[in-house]
Structure 1
Amino acid sequence: MASPYLCPSCKTNKTRFNIIEQKPKSVKLDPQSGEIMEEFAADQAGPLHLPYRGPDKKIQCGVCGLIENEEAFVKRAQYMNKQS
């Protein structure tokens, strides 16, 4: 469901945002070179590799550049709607 946003930093932007979709990739790196040695499917990473538990997307304010979880922008809009 769509929700209105309001930037929690500049507190003026209600319309200009960048939605950043996060697509994690589980990998094993070479410790010396940093090269990817192996890529794992999400359920095949093994017992020593924790799965990604972060948000699916982040939001960037198109005015001031703040990048936060979507919830911060939604909560600020809800708070300001209650104040009006």
Structure 2
Amino acid sequence: MAQPYLCPNCRSNRTRFNLIAQVATPVKMDPGTGEVVEELTDQTMGPFHIPYNGPPYKVQCGVCGLVENELTFIKHAQNDPGSTQN
């Protein structure tokens, strides 16, 4: 369900945002060179590799550039005394 946003930093932007997709690629790296040795899958991660469980995307304010979780922008819009949604 769509929710209104309000930037918590500039406190004026309600319309211009960038949605940044968070696509995790689990990898195994060489500890000496930092080179990717293997891209892992759910079947090959093993017991010592925790799968990504963060948000599917983040939001960037199109005015001031602040990048935060979507919930931060939603909560600021809900708590804004000048909002017509309250």
The TM-score normalised by the length of structure 2 is: 0.90
Paired residues for 1:73-84 under 5 Å: 73-80=73-80, 81=83
Richer in helix (by share): 1
2: CA distance, partners of 1:23 / 1:83: 32
Structure 2 counterpart of 1:26: 26
* Stretch deviating more after TM superposition (13-22 or 74-83): 74-83
Deviations 1:28-59 (A, max 9, x none): 00111111101111343110101111111100
2: CA distance, partners of 1:79 / 1:52: 30
Evaluate the alpha carbon distance shift between residue 43 and residue 73 of structure 1 in structure 2; reply closer, same or farther with a 3 A threshold.
farther
| 1:50 counterpart = 2:50 | yes
Q: How many percent identity over aligned positions?
A: 55
Structure 2 counterpart of 1:66: 66
Structure 2: gaps of 5 or more residues: none
Structure 1: gaps of 5 or more residues: none
The TM-score normalised by the length of structure 1 is: 0.92
RMSD over aligned Cα atoms = 1.6
Question: The residue matched to 1:76 in structure 2 has which SS?
Answer: helix
Structure 1 counterpart of 2:16: 16
Structure 1 counterpart of 2:4: 4
